[in-house]
């Protein structure tokens, strides 16, 4: 199976579905990760003030994390951090369309459409547009993942709450996810922040309890063709 992960920022791919990616890779599925944004530059008043070493470090971390998870391909598009709403949606759609054309995925994992972060919502909208169920499309299913500190912090005020109906058993790969997240030293936070190792493990245990697993990652089905 070919799987395409669409993430807005470096670390979103790990936070949202890192353990699932590791499990798919172990089964022999082909996983491509696309990170649309550069990350971190929004911490400065002007994007131009950001030190290029910061984005270089994030790119390097993404490469190392992708290797650890077992992904087959990694693409980084370098869109402006937390400024996706300043980019024409069509331009973002075309990035996703090119990835679909190149890798012919059957399953796509992406952000939830009501996340607090504007880049997440643009990434979701672009993915939804690029995966229109036209004849000849290889995409059979689109799932949204949750990103701690963005999905739950919207509190359902920006749209429909994340409502997972699909759960992946990640009991054997949760440790890989946590190890991959530790590579993103600049993005991790101490407990009780949702991106802390303790909080990520607790979320996985809670999602697992919902589905009868020791640990799980949760997804909301956006659309699926067939059973």
Is residue 41 very low, low, confident or very high in pLDDT (cuts 50, 70, 90)? confident
**How far apart are the C-alpha atoms of 86 and 38, rounded to whole Å?**
14
Q: What share of the chain is helix, strand, coil (3-state, %, to 5)?
A: 45, 20, 35
Domain range list for the chain: 2-224
Per the DSSP assignment, residues forming a β-bridge with 78 are none
Prediction pTM value = 0.95
Confidence of residue 40 (pLDDT cuts 50, 70, 90): low
State pLDDT tens for residues 117-149.
999 999 999 999 999 999 999 999 999 999 999
For residue 63, what are the CA distances in angstroms to 7, 79, 115, 150, 220? 14, 17, 25, 23, 27
pLDDT surpassing 90 at residue 188: no
C-beta of residue 49 within 8 angstroms of C-beta of residue 61 = no
Place of tokens 């869109």: 79
- Range 68-94 average pLDDT: 96
Which CATH number among 3.50.50.60, 3.40.640.10, 3.30.70.260, 3.40.50.10320 corresponds to the domain 2-224? Answer: 3.40.50.10320
| H-run or E-run covering 183 | helix 174-183
CA proximity to 115, closest of 161, 166, 81, 163: 161
């Amino acid at each position: 199976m070919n799987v395409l992960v669409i993430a807005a920022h470096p670390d979103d791919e790990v936070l949202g579905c890192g353990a699932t990616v590791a499990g798919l890779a172990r089964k022999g599925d082909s996983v491509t990760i696309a990170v649309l944004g550069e990350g971190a530059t929004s911490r400065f008043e002007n994007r131009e003030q950001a030190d290029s070493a910061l984005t270089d470090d994030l790119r390097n971390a993404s490469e190392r994390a992708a290797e650890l998870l077992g992904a087959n391909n990694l693409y980084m598009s370098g869109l402006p951090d937390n400024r996706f709403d300043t980019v024409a949606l069509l331009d973002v759609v075309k990035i996703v369309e090119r990835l679909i054309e190149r890798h012919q995925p059957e399953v796509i994992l992406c952000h939830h459409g009501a996340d607090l972060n504007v880049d997440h919502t643009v990434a979701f909208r672009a993915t939804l547009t690029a995966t229109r169920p036209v004849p000849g499309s290889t995409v059979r299913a689109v799932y949204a993942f949750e990103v701690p500190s963005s999905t739950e912090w919207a509190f359902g005020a920006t749209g429909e709450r994340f409502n997972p109906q699909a759960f992946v058993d990640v009991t054997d790969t949760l440790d890989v996810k946590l190890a991959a997240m530790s590579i993103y030293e600049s993005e991790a936070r101490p407990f009780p922040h949702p991106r802390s190792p303790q909080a990520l493990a607790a979320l996985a245990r809670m999602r697992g309890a919902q589905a009868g697993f020791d640990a799980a990652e949760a997804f909301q089905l956006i659309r699926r063709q067939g059973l």
